[in-house]
Amino acid sequence: MHPVAAIMRRELRSYFVTPVAYVFLVIFLVLAGLLTFYAGDFYERGLADLQPFFVIHPWLYLILAPALSMRMWAEESKAGTLELLLTLPVTLVQAMLGKFLAAWLFLGLALLLTFPIWVTVNYLGDPDNGVIFAGYLGSWLMAGGFLAIGACLSTLTRSQVVAFILTALVCVLLILVGQPQVLDFFQGALPRKLVNGVAHLSMLRHFEAIARGVLDVRDLMYFLLTILAWLTAGVLVLDLKRNR
Amino acid sequence: MRRLHIGRRTWLVTALVALTLAFIGITLASSRWLQTARVDLTADHLYTLTPGTQHIIDDLHRPLKLTLYFSEHATRDLPQLRSYEQRVREMLQEMVARSRGRVRLAVIDPVPYSDDEASAEGGGLTPINGGSNGERVFFGLVGNTVPGSEGEGEDRNLSIPFFDPARETFLEYDIAKLLYELDQPSKPHIGLISSLPLAGNPAIGEPPWAVVQQLEQLFDVRTLDADTLNRVGDDIQVLLLVHPKRLPDAAVYALDQYVLRGGHLVVFVDPDAELDTTPYVDSNGMTDDHNSDLPRLFAAWGVAFNASSVVLDRSRALQIELAGTNLNHPAMLGLGPQELNHNDVVTASLQRINVSTAGSFDLAPDAQTRLLPLIQSSAEAEKVPSQRVLEAVSDPTSLLQGYQPDNQHYVIAARLRGTFHSAFPQRAGTPGHLAESKPDSEVVLVADTDILSDRLWVEMQNFLGQPMLSAFANNGDFATNLADNLSGSSALLSIRGRSASQRPFTRVRALQAAADQKFLVKKQELERELAETRQRLDELQPVKGGRSGGASAQQKSEIEQFQQRRLAINKELRDVQHQLNAEIDALGLRLKVINIVLVPALVTLIGLLYGWRRVRQSRSRPG
């Protein structure tokens, strides 16, 4: 088996042998349902689309993606298994990719388990399923972005708590920077080009662009680049640690 | 050895910095230069230029210049408008990219008291108030033909005064229309003959109906007077005949010959034109029905139309509010995609047409023409005398008594195609008289005039202090499509009325409708009972002028009973209402439980089972 696949399988297994995975899934699903139906007024607004469902995803991931990624490397550092892993016949890149893909697939599974909301909206009306598909894809890509950030930041520290906080902090910045209120706040202080540039770095903006039903190369590129850049940065940090 | 380490660390740190810079650089660069590659997953391809727009852009005769005015500074506090501006700009850029240099775009921020502001106003833009620091907000488009360039026709200057975010679904159409109109050397001519006040009354400040306003943007609309009409000019490319009543023979003959010469006629007749303002009985004692017909021409063309029967359709009934209650009006119909002909370019892209007290067309037994339906009723329809509908004004639900669906789709609007024969064979000797048309000539028939009235398809909305017309049905698009199609330009058709409809919870709506129906039946039952009680009470009233001295004991007890019964009935009605709402709430609750509890419970169960198996396995393992 390819080393990446092997590491991914090992990681995925490790999620499910402890109750962590189940607790995580239950929290994700219950929160998604509660927020969609109560905060988003899904039923009362009477429209056959999943807008109230997808609009909460950035905020859900803000808590859950750091929780999933914090243990990726921080735990290995603390338990002393990092050295062991580094002696195995796998490269750092392969190890990083394997762990990341495991977490990404796991969040994908969590997303798939929200299928009752898709069944519900199709039962209640005649939604645009193309848009819903785009919403799911955008959401999963955004989850990947957050997880990649978490993977990188968890290489920096031995403490899972620190890794969690750092990741959440960076993620909240990437969400907020796309909010019009924040952009408008900077509009006066910074040149327009810079503000536009900052807006292009926002995760939220690209997610919303995909969730309205259009797969634009620019948005896909953004997520791909984000994931690649943060994973590469993580590998570089690990390399730094190894050569310390 | 140590030196080598430092070298590697420095290299890694440098790599991290380079990575950051590269990431930001590539992200910004990709968002700037990779602009057009996208896959539109929406069902109606909302974000892709339609073939119609592409066709218009590809066929431009002359170079055009577009100027988008957007007040950057004044919209700092209007994030909704800012994000819409981005969408508008992207749409314009896409069109510019497609035009290969034929269309140029400039974006200008008209700051207060600048030349730009003056040119925005001069171009016809309407600013709205409400920007930051009370500044006026400009957000519109001015389009010009480039003077002195090749191509024929007069120079034009057209504008979209303000981009209303509520019209987002029509954005592409609005811009494509602007390009199309700019490119036209001159507007096609349309004739209008009507006994309804379609053109408004400028004397008393009454604006034309929205349909006419919409037509006037695309066409040169000329109102013709039926009383003096002897001949329809050949320059009239489409003639709209609305609500023809008592047309003089000369006018009928003019229409007859216009059609036989190949003119395009659209006839709107109606068993009950609700906007007909003539009194039913005037001061001279003349009686007048509010219906219209074109008997002589219809007979010659082989069309059967009954001006005194109305199509009811309980499954397409529109909801109206009458005396505080919502009820379904079976003579006012909301017809959706299933009732619109999707193979005809005129109705293909429309979502919804509302009609009111419409009639229907059929072919006469000896007809040599063909009827190609554009709008039909559902199979749940029945036809009733228009008198019954008139009598049911105060209680439209009474039309549902004894309802018998005919299992027939009634034709409300259609193209009539074939060889037409003159309705005036006796004038065969007159010079220039035509006895029959060319084969495959065409007339469009519509059995409702209310379809054109504002109340069935537009409402006035206030957007930041500006009155804006906002359409809730495609009636106006239907009329414009007809004129477009018959006058020979079809490019705008595929864009118009694209997915204006929201997607409601149809299941909840159906529940609601069923509940309303049940409530009404119950209400009528109880009201009848109340009326009976009241009548009994009246019978007990002392005869006028008779013995006075207050109510008798029997009356008193009857009054008391009446009061109590009324209270009880009101409570019963409230209970019925409550019970019906409860059904909808119960569905909501079930869905909430399924979505919030079901899958998490299953996941927990699987986790527990898996854990239990592992524990059992590890126990059974020796050692």
Q: B155: helix, coil or strand?
A: coil
What ipTM score was computed for the predicted complex, to two decimals?
A: 0.87
The stretches of B99-209 forming alpha helices (DSSP H) are 115-122, 171-183
For residues A145 and B533, what is the distance between their CA atoms, to the nearest angstrom?
73
Question: What was the pLDDT predicted at B591?
Answer: 93
Candidates B108, B39, B41; CA nearest to B71 is B108
Mean pLDDT, residues A137-161 taken together: 94
Neighbours of B190 (CB within 10 A): 24
Q: Do A130 and B43 touch (CB under 8 A)?
A: yes
Phi-psi region of A206 (alpha: psi -120 to 50; beta: other; left: phi over 0): alpha
* Cβ contacts of A49 on chain B, cutoff 8 Å: 503
- What does the mean pLDDT of chain B come to? 84
Question: What was the pLDDT predicted at B623?
Answer: 53
Minimal Cα–Cα distance from B271 to chain A, Å? 35
As separate numbers, helices (DSSP H) first and strands (DSSP E) second, chain A gives 15, 1
Nearest CA in chain A to B593: A33
Candidate from A113, A126, A222 with C-beta closest to B503: A126
Q: Identify residue B461 by its one-letter amino acid code.
A: Q
pLDDT at position B548 over 60: no
* Cβ contacts of B22 on chain A, cutoff 8 Å: 229
For residues B202 and B199, what is the distance between their CA atoms, to the nearest angstrom?
9
Minimal Cα–Cα distance from A214 to chain B, Å? 5
Q: Do B505 and A200 touch (CB under 8 A)?
A: no
pLDDT band at B351 (very low <50, low <70, confident <90, very high): confident
pLDDT at position A105 over 90: yes
For residues B349 and B340, what is the distance between their CA atoms, to the nearest angstrom?
9
pLDDT at position A116 over 60: yes
* Cβ contacts of A124 on chain B, cutoff 8 Å: 505-508, 591
Burial of residue B471, with CB atoms counted within 10 A of its CB: 0-12 exposed, 13-18 middle, 19 or more buried: buried
pLDDT at position A202 over 90: no
For residues B347 and B478, what is the distance between their CA atoms, to the nearest angstrom?
7
pLDDT digits (tens, 9 = 90+) for B463-506: 666 667 778 889 998 999 899 888 866 666 666 555 544 577 88
pLDDT at position B411 over 90: yes
Question: What was the pLDDT predicted at A27?
Answer: 94
Tell me if chain B has a CB within 8 Å of the CB of A189.
Answer: no
Residue B285's φ and ψ, nearest 5 degrees, are: 80, 10
pLDDT-wise least confident of A90-94, B37-41, B207-211, B501-505: B501-505
Q: Do B42 and A130 touch (CB under 8 A)?
A: yes
pLDDT at position B224 over 90: yes
Candidate from B47, B588, B604 with C-beta closest to A43: B588
Question: What was the pLDDT predicted at B340?
Answer: 92
Candidate from B72, B503, B604 with C-beta closest to A26: B604
A111-125, B63-77, B282-296: which is most confident:
A111-125
For residues B35 and B45, what is the distance between their CA atoms, to the nearest angstrom?
17
Q: Which token pair is B122? A: 């001069």
pLDDT band at B289 (very low <50, low <70, confident <90, very high): confident
- Exposure pattern of B4-43 as b/e (b: 16+ CB <10 Å)? eeeeeeeebeebeeebeeebbeebbebbeeeeeebebbbe
Q: Which token pair is A95? A: 């190890």
pLDDT digits (tens, 9 = 90+) for B562-619: 778 778 877 887 887 787 778 888 999 999 999 999 999 999 999 999 888 888 888 8
* Cβ contacts of B500 on chain A, cutoff 8 Å: none
The stretches of B99-193 forming alpha helices (DSSP H) are 115-122, 171-183
Candidate from B41, B79, B502 with C-beta closest to A133: B41
A 53-112 residues with CB below 8 A of B?
none
Q: Do B39 and A214 touch (CB under 8 A)?
A: yes
Nearest CA in chain B to A117: B595
pLDDT at position A19 over 90: no
Give Cα separations from A17 to A10, A22, A81 (angstroms).
11, 10, 18
For residues A234 and A166, what is the distance between their CA atoms, to the nearest angstrom?
14
pLDDT at position A45 over 90: no
More confident: B375 or B430: B375
Q: Identify residue B250 by its one-letter amino acid code.
A: A
pLDDT digits (tens, 9 = 90+) for A164-186: 999 999 999 888 887 766 766 77
Question: What was the pLDDT predicted at B540?
Answer: 67
Minimal Cα–Cα distance from A81 to chain B, Å? 23
Q: Which token pair is A18? A: 């402890």
* Residue B324 and residue B317 in contact, taking contact as beta carbons nearer than 8 Å: no
Candidate from A30, A46, A183 with C-beta closest to B600: A30
Candidate from A33, A47, A243 with C-beta closest to B596: A33
pLDDT band at A244 (very low <50, low <70, confident <90, very high): low
Q: Identify residue B97 by its one-letter amino acid code.
A: A
